[in-house]
Structure 1
Amino acid sequence: MKILLVSINSIHFRRWSDQLRESGHEVYWFDILDQGYAPSISWMTQITGWKKGFLKKRGRTFIKNRWPKLYTILVRKYDNKIEDAFAKAVQEIQPDAIHSFALYLSCTPILPVLLQNNIPWIYSSWGSDLFYFRNKASYLKDIKEVLPRVNYMFADCKRDQEIASELGFTGTHLGVFPGGGGFDLELFDTYKIPFKDRRIIAVKGNENRSGRAVSVLKALEQLSDQLTNYEVVVFGVENDAVSQFQKGSIPHLTIKGLMEHKELIQLFCSSLIYIGNSNSDGMPNTLLEAICAGAFPIQSNPGGASAELIKNGENGLLIEDCEEVSHIQEVILKAITNPGLLKNATAYNTIHMAPLLSRDVIRTKVVNLYSSIKS
């Protein structure tokens, strides 16, 4: 079976697509942003280098910085359009199925091509794809145009399956799976330290369109007197909105920028508590990784997505209002004053939840689902 993947080059895409390595399928990747050949996924056939129509090797950045208006004119006149490049790729490959990752990035630009044929089209929703962007008029228009053409859908939460059906999807739901596929549980076991030795509270540091790390840090500031026995590590920080807390009252605070994936796993495997806070995420991969690592999860619950995995007060705690600092403070306080809850929850997650997230288990299911698609 020939499968043509359409996506940006991201860690979630690389990890998901790796499930198809040695699956017996013939796999191609159309780099929707044309960012260049990716050695990390050299096992698949890559369609790159399709975009540039002028100064293909050097000089483009110089013109863009020096004469931005001229650059825009040249791009519009000479660069190849996504639609044309993708149509050419489809014609040459003759795929049995096309799989797009993220609606606004990898579905909308190629919709005109898909409307001209009956090739089975698979769509994987990511994070804010539907829950957030359905509230934006221009994106909602795209969503309603794309979904009726899509034949199959992967989602990382049931919430997004339901939204897709409400907004025009009438195809087959292939199931709910982590956006990057399953996890290597043996790798986690390599780095895990005993529960009794853990003192780290790991906080996802995103403060952007959807991330709400600042609300968490404000809540931690109000709990500073009760955090003297903990180390707070904020990871993935990319702006000053979070970095400013370095000078605040949170004791033993460490702020880290983007981390290598293995380094992040090591952090989770040393953490007692993980906190993630967002206004629209689906099922966050960091939440799932924290569970596999044996950290107690505290996670926001936009649209009820996280409640699909976390039973509040049993195997984790849910943040129901990502903006309300006093509420977040109460949730964190409940965790740090209840060691029995933390111990029992992590034990339950390790025995019952983590095995369901195993890479081997999920890969087998996913590969079988691809094989079930009829052209």
Structure 2
Amino acid sequence: MKILFVSIPNHHFFQWANQLKDAGHEVHWFDITDGAGFSSKINWIQQHNGWKLRWNFPGRYFIKRKFPSIYQFINRFNTHKTATVFDNLLATIQPDVIHCFEMNLSGIPILPVLEKYPNIPLIYSSWGSDLYDFKSFGLSEAIVKQFLQRVDYLITDCKRDYQLALSYGFSNAFLGVFPGNGGILFQSTYILPTEERDIILVKGYEDGVGKALNVLEAIQELGLFVIQNYKIVVYSADKKVVDFIATSRFYESAEVFERNHYIPNEAILEFMGKSVIHIGNSVSDGMPNSLLEAMGMGAFPIQTNPGGATEEVVEHGVNGYLITFPESKSEIAHLIKSALTNLTLRKKAQEYNVSFMNAHYNRAILQSKIVALYQNLLP
């Protein structure tokens, strides 16, 4: 089978794509943003990038940095149209199937071309807030319905989004719920017993959707109780979070990993395996891969629940805590203190979560199912 992936250059996409290595398919990737160049993470795939600029003129980076308005004006004439490039690529590759990851960035820009080729099956993987909060991306309900009408096969990262797709008119085949990265290789050697854990791990997104600052301020409200007993580690920290921690005496011993600095996934899993709790706070999301990873590594999850997605794997007070109000520092502080002071709850949760995640989200188990998804599309 000849498969054409359409995606932004994203870590989760690379992990999904690598599930098909050695599966016998001819696989291509159209980098729809043309933002990464050749990626060694999927070096076995035929990659189509370097298509955006008509002319990579001398001094381009200087003008982009110093005179952004002039650069934007030049780009109106110096940039190839995404749809035109993709149309030409389809004619050249003639794929048996197109798989589009995420709607706003990867699907909508090429929708007119996809509609020109109704006989080429289209798989669509929804990610995160893709369907749940499409209006925040500037999409109308009409364009979402139009896109879903073209989709032949749907994959979601939570049950919530399948129901949403149905409500917006999707009526074709549902291939199932899968994590956006295709599964997780849980590192069992890093999973410490509940009693030996000493890290409070915080996901540091503060981008309008992520609300890590509320978590950090909630921890600060708990004062010496936290600092004297636990290490604070913040990963994927946006600049506002980095700046907040840098100017806070309370967090002077905290360990911070900035969002734009690459950290091997194995290193994050190791932190999770040593963490008492893992906290993710946001106003919109799908099924966070970080939540699944933390649960599988035994960290007690404290997580928001946009649209009911998180409650598909977390039962409040049983195997984790659900944050009702992402803006409420007092609620978050209460949940953190409750988790830290309830060893019995955390032990039971760790035992259940590690077992459940390995049964349902283990990459080694899911690979055969993902390969079969494509195989079953063959006539």
> Fold match, TM over 0.5?
yes
Structure 1 segment 180-191 matched on structure 2, within 5 A: 180-185=181-186, 188-191=187-190
Asked if 2 retains the 8 angstrom alpha-carbon contact of 1:316 and 1:345, the reply is: yes
Query: Residue 39 of structure 2 aligns with which residue?
Result: 38
Structure 2 CA distance for partners of 1:367 and 1:71, relative to 1, 3 Å? same
Inter-partner Cα distance in structure 1 for 2:72 and 2:349: 55
Query: Residue 154 of structure 1 aligns with which residue?
Result: 155
Inter-partner Cα distance in structure 1 for 2:279 and 2:153: 33
Matched, 1:84 2:88: no
Q: Secondary structure at the match of 2:33?
A: coil
Q: Secondary structure at the match of 1:287?
A: helix
Query: Residue 323 of structure 1 aligns with which residue?
Result: 327
Q: Secondary structure at the match of 2:150?
A: coil
Q: Show structure 1 runs of 5+ residues with no match.
A: none
Asked if 1 retains the 8 angstrom alpha-carbon contact of 2:294 and 2:301, the reply is: yes
Inter-partner Cα distance in structure 1 for 2:108 and 2:297: 36
Q: Which is further off, 226-235 or 14-23?
A: 226-235
Inter-partner Cα distance in structure 2 for 1:370 and 1:175: 13
> Identity, % of aligned pairs?
42
Q: 1:297 aligned to 301, 304, 318, which one? A: 301
Structure 2 CA distance for partners of 1:253 and 1:243, relative to 1, 3 Å? same
Could you tell me which amino acid in structure 1 is paired with residue 47 of structure 2? Q
Could you tell me which amino acid in structure 2 is paired with residue 261 of structure 1? N
- What is the RMSD of the two structures over their aligned residues, measured on CA atoms? 1.9
The C-alpha deviation readout for 1:31-76, integer Å capped at 9, x for no partner, is 10112111221101111122110126x5322333455454334322
Query: Residue 272 of structure 1 aligns with which residue?
Result: 276
The C-alpha deviation readout for 1:169-215, integer Å capped at 9, x for no partner, is 22211111110011113xx1233333321111101111112101111
The C-alpha deviation readout for 1:198-233, integer Å capped at 9, x for no partner, is 111101111112101111112111212421211121
Query: Residue 205 of structure 2 aligns with which residue?
Result: 206
Asked if 2 retains the 8 angstrom alpha-carbon contact of 1:237 and 1:243, the reply is: no
Could you tell me which amino acid in structure 2 is paired with residue 348 of structure 1? Y
Structure 2 CA distance for partners of 1:71 and 1:225, relative to 1, 3 Å? closer
Structure 1 segment 139-288 matched on structure 2, within 5 A: 139-185=140-186, 188-227=187-226, 228-241=228-241, 243-246=243-246, 247-249=248-250, 252-258=253-259, 259-288=263-292
Q: 1:314 aligned to 282, 293, 318, which one? A: 318
Inter-partner Cα distance in structure 1 for 2:299 and 2:69: 51
Structure 2 CA distance for partners of 1:243 and 1:93, relative to 1, 3 Å? same
Structure 2 CA distance for partners of 1:40 and 1:218, relative to 1, 3 Å? same
Inter-partner Cα distance in structure 1 for 2:42 and 2:111: 25
Could you tell me which amino acid in structure 2 is paired with residue 244 of structure 1? F
Q: Give the C-alpha shift of residue 297 in structure 1.
A: 1.1
Asked if 2 retains the 8 angstrom alpha-carbon contact of 1:224 and 1:251, the reply is: no
Q: 1:364 aligned to 336, 356, 368, which one? A: 368
Could you tell me which amino acid in structure 2 is paired with residue 106 of structure 1? S
The C-alpha deviation readout for 1:105-139, integer Å capped at 9, x for no partner, is 10001101111112111111111111122456534
Inter-partner Cα distance in structure 2 for 1:129 and 1:225: 40
Q: Which is further off, 78-87 or 223-232?
A: 223-232
Q: Which is further off, 253-262 or 276-285?
A: 253-262
Structure 2 CA distance for partners of 1:144 and 1:261, relative to 1, 3 Å? same
Could you tell me which amino acid in structure 2 is paired with residue 91 of structure 1? A
Inter-partner Cα distance in structure 2 for 1:242 and 1:303: 29
Query: Residue 106 of structure 2 aligns with which residue?
Result: 106
